[in-house]
């Protein structure tokens, strides 16, 4: 009888530990969304301006940065950064930071969130990479958030 290699039990233990750790990450790539949302909420910022941009998704404003003005938790205006003109879409088109978190959570639950990145200062989502229907995947970018007191 051949002696068993000593590394086999260690390798099995490492594999089992890795698999168990993966089970504790219920939403895969988006598993820490609630932690970042709590950090964002701790800043208590209800009024702010930020730049929003979609790429992909076959939307007429895709690829155009839009300055979104949020006051007391509601979008008050959306302006095309390049032209300075108001965007013609309804204000409900433009998300608040809370709605960016909602989008990330829904996409993670559906398995369509490929990646998410957060602002190092305020912990809001700055980049969401999403899978959509064929030829309709894309990304959401939020940047330059400035709190308004």
Note the pLDDT tens digit of each residue in 20-63: 333 333 345 667 999 999 999 999 999 999 999 988 766 777 77
pLDDT classification of 138: cutoffs 50, 70, 90: confident
- Asked if residue 87 has pLDDT above 90, the reply is yes
pTM across the whole model: 0.77
Strand partners, 113: 130
Q: What CA–CA distance (Å, rounded) separates 70 from 67?
A: 10
Average pLDDT for 78-89: 96
Q: What CA–CA distance (Å, rounded) separates 133 from 112?
A: 10
Give yes or no for a contact between 138 and 132, defined as CB atoms under 8 angstroms apart. Answer: yes
Average pLDDT for 104-123: 94
């Amino acid at each position: 009888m051949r002696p068993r290699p000593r590394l086999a039990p260690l390798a099995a233990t490492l594999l089992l530990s890795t698999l168990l750790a993966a089970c504790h990450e219920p939403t895969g790539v988006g598993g820490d969304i609630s932690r970042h949302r709590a950090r964002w909420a701790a800043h208590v910022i209800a009024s702010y301006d930020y730049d929003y941009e979609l790429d992909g998704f076959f939307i007429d404003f895709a690829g155009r940065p839009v300055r979104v003005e949020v006051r007391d938790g509601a979008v008050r205006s959306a302006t095309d950064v390049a032209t300075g003109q108001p965007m013609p879409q309804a204000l409900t088109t433009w998300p608040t930071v809370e709605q960016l978190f909602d989008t990330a959570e829904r996409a993670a639950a559906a398995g369509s969130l490929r990646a998410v990145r957060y602002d190092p200062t305020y912990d809001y989502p700055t980049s969401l990479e999403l899978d959509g229907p064929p030829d309709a995947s894309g990304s959401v970018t939020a940047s330059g958030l400035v709190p308004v007191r």
